[in-house]
Amino acid sequence: MAGARIEDVILRRANLRYAFPHDFKRRLEGQTVPAVLRRAKYLLVELGSGDVLVMHLGMSGSFRVSRHVTLFDVHDHVVFEMSNGASVIFNDPRRFGFMTLLAPGELDAHATLGRLGPEPLARTFDVGALARELRRRKTSLKITLLDQRVIAGLGNIYVVEALHRARLSPKRRASTLVTATGEPRPGLHELVAAIREVLRTAIRNQYRTGSKDPFLVYDHEGERCPRRGCAGTIKKIVQGGRSTFYCPVCQS
């Protein structure tokens, strides 16, 4: 899509999770695409008009690119026909994904996008930034890290994996990783490094959500802790409605 023009938008239904804006098709067709970006779990397609197409995959959404579309799948809901000959097709069996358009200047004021924390692999995310967020947090470390206002785009599986690598209990109060004067404790340095390591490994190996094999502790309840020298057993608890897997022996 980047560098091309949107020639046609085919809406094969009136809504996904939400209804499309009433002028969705009109505002997209004929627009060039200077860039395609990502912010947390949102895809942002910049348009020549200054508008931004905001898209979210939901639980089951995916894109594919084809140059010879003759038949559509029943779950192919939106098709972008590009000037370079590509058909960019959004497929979503469960229809939890959504698309909307934001006018120039609306992105920073958006209820969700405007409040997102730093990207975990960006330079703006470091030990100091995380210490400032955790200092007065009375919630558990796991729940705090899932808060998108603290770190953007860090999901449940990777929080679980990062906490295990950093030897930190998911039940620990978040503020205990920061001193009374706001200085990060050693465990916080370990956590930041673990978050980056887990995400970079997942991106490099193209891990898929729901795949058990790549993960050390996620979905391994009842199995021996994979950390060398640890005799603990992976335990499962539920925090904030999400499954947490951890070793009660080596994570403190």
Give the separation between CA 21 and CA 226, rounded to whole angstroms: 49
Same domain assignment for residues 99 and 167: no
Same domain assignment for residues 140 and 233: yes
pLDDT band at 76 (very low <50, low <70, confident <90, very high): very high
Mean pLDDT of 40-55: 96
Read off the pLDDT of residues 175-212 as tens digits, 9 standing for 90 and up: 999 999 999 999 999 999 999 999 999 888 876 655 55
* Residues with Cβ within 8 Å of residue 18, at least 6 apart in sequence: 98, 100
Asked if residue 251 belongs to a domain, the reply is: no
CA dihedral angle for residue 30, residue 34, residue 38, residue 44, rounded to 10 degrees:
-30
Task: Please state, as a whole number, how many other Cβ atoms lie within 10 Å of the Cβ of residue 62.
Answer: 13
Same domain assignment for residues 97 and 191: no
Percent residues over pLDDT 70 in the chain: 97
Domain that holds residue 84: 6-105
Mean pLDDT lowest among 62-66, 87-91, 200-204, 226-230? 200-204
Same domain assignment for residues 101 and 139: no
